[in-house]
Amino acid sequence: MSQIGQLLDTKRVIVCCGAGGVGKTTVSASLALAAARQGRRVLVVTIDPSKRLAETLGVSRNPEEPVAISAERLTAAGVTGHLSAWMLDPQLVADKVVNSFSNSANEASQLLQNRIYQNVTAMVAGMQEYTAVEALYEFVENDAYDLIILDTPPSRDALRFLDAPDRATAFLDKRIFNLFIPGEGGLIRRMATKLVESVMDLTFGESTRRELQQFMSLFGQLLGYLNQNQAEMKSFFAGDQVGFVLVTSPASEAVTEAKFFARRAVTDLGLNLNGYVLNRSLASETSREIPASAQAEGPLASAIAKLKPFAEAERANGAAHQELAGQVADTAGDGVWTCVLPNLGGDASQLQGLVSLADALVDDKCLARPPRKDAST
């Protein structure tokens, strides 16, 4: 079995990261197809649903739960396995967590409508993604799928979701929290609360103060619950069952950025980097012949002459991409592969495109090798 095939066969979760627009979602879907073909029950989770891909897979965006891709579509893609997709909006999932956690529907709707809650979840980077990933973690625990491929939102901080509860707690200092929770604690606490309340009433007006108090009380419980699972989530993501793939475009600045990102993910979060995917590479274009205009006549000759500079530029790009792939492979580190995926001429969000990328991914020929240091031996 190929190297990437093995990864797809053994992991419980594979996280795809990278900058926006490099092809994370496309690569996630292709990896998912490839794994489903290998007989695994696969769920692909995308956090920034793209309309076209959703159409291709025949699933709606932002559903409540994962949606199984129809057998007809899978058969058309040559897949006889089981593949589901969940294209979710983190805000909706975060709200759903609030609903399931709250003691009553009334309490949940109070929190969801609370302006402060709305602002805080938007303000604490990764908070919504964290809740989404936590929802995903349920699927790992209940064994509904063999493999979950997690596409991440397009940001340098995509992986910060694992730290989000910490940051939310720091943001909303616990002592401040406790002060606001009404009716608890001894007499001194209650007096302190009264004092804070009257100061707040003067400063913000009574209705804002009430809203803040309500928020503190409801969100405090929720945060406690999120924090409780966080340690478990973090150690799971750093463990052997989780793979981590960095998708990048094949240009050198993009690769530098990707490596920076990889270092952070490995050192800060303890993730295990498995490989780089250099997507939309022209590396395979270098072997293509540039037709000689001398052999043609008339309009064809002039057309070839006009197109030749473009062909030559493509070839030069291809050579640069090839060299870069060699460099990445050379510096990737032990056991970390570098996979080169072609730039599909057509639309990569069509099923046929995804299938051809899936084919390429599980063929070891896609793996770049470090340049030979000494050609004479």
Ligand X SMILES: Nc1ncnc2c1ncn2[C@@H]1O[C@H](COP(=O)(O)OP(=O)(O)O)[C@@H](O)[C@H]1O
Residues that bind ligand X (CB under 6 A): 18, 20-26, 50, 154, 279-280, 341, 343-344, 347-349, 357
CA distance linking residue 247 with residue 30, whole number of Å: 13
Question: How remote is the C-alpha of 327 from its chain's centroid?
Answer: 25
- Give min distance, CB of 102 to ligand X, in A: 33
Name the one range near Mg ion by CB under 5 A: 43-51, 260-268, 298-306, 320-328: 43-51
- Maximum CA extent, the chain: 99
Q: Which is nearer to ligand X, 165 or 318 (CB)?
A: 318
- Give min distance, CB of 297 to ligand X, in A: 35
- Give min distance, CB of 13 to Mg ion, in A: 17
- Length of the chain equals 377
Name the one range near Mg ion by CB under 5 A: 42-50, 178-186, 310-318, 342-350: 42-50
Pairing of strands 147-151, 13-17: parallel
Written as six digits, the tokens of 135 are: 């929802």
- Give min distance, CB of 111 to Mg ion, in A: 30
Q: Which amino acid is at 377?
A: T
Residue nearest to Mg ion (CB): 25
CA distance linking residue 133 with residue 76, whole number of Å: 30
Q: Which is nearer to ligand X, 93 or 351 (CB)?
A: 351
Measured torsion, CA atoms of residues 44, 49, 55, 56, in degrees rounded to the nearest 10:
-40
124 binds, among Mg ion, ligand X, none (CB under 5 to 8 A by kind): none
Name the one range near Mg ion by CB under 5 A: 48-56, 110-118, 168-176, 357-365: 48-56
- Give min distance, CB of 33 to Mg ion, in A: 16
341 binds, among Mg ion, ligand X, none (CB under 5 to 8 A by kind): ligand X
- Is residue 48 close enough to count as binding Mg ion by CB under 5 A? yes
Q: How many residues bind Mg ion (CB under 5 A)?
A: 3
**Alpha-carbon dihedral sign for residues 47, 136, 87, 4:** positive
Q: Which is nearer to ligand X, 24 or 37 (CB)?
A: 24
Q: Count the neighbouring beta carbons within 10 Å of the beta carbon of residue 301.
A: 15
127 binds, among Mg ion, ligand X, none (CB under 5 to 8 A by kind): none
- Give min distance, CB of 352 to ligand X, in A: 12
Residue with tokens 């493509």: 314
3 binds, among ligand X, Mg ion, none (CB under 5 to 8 A by kind): none
How many helices and strands in the chain, by DSSP H and E?
15, 8
26 binds, among ligand X, Mg ion, none (CB under 5 to 8 A by kind): ligand X
Nearest residue to 338 (alpha-carbon basis) of 290, 277, 288, 248: 277
**x/- string (CB under 5 A) for Mg ion, residues 2-41?**
----------------------xx----------------
C-alpha dist (Å) from residue 209 to 101, 122, 178, 205: 24, 20, 15, 6
Q: Which is nearer to ligand X, 214 or 249 (CB)?
A: 249
Q: Which is nearer to ligand X, 73 or 308 (CB)?
A: 73
The DSSP letter of residue 184 is -
Q: In 15-114, where does DSSP find H-type helix? A: 24-37, 51-57, 71-76, 90-101, 105-113
30 binds, among ligand X, Mg ion, none (CB under 5 to 8 A by kind): none
The DSSP letter of residue 39 is T
- Give min distance, CB of 121 to ligand X, in A: 23
**DSSP sequence for 59-72:** --SS-SS-EEPPHH
Q: Which is nearer to ligand X, 156 or 194 (CB)?
A: 156
Q: 242 - beta bridge partners? A: 13
Judged by the rule CB under 5 A, the positions of this chain that interact with Mg ion are: 24-25, 48
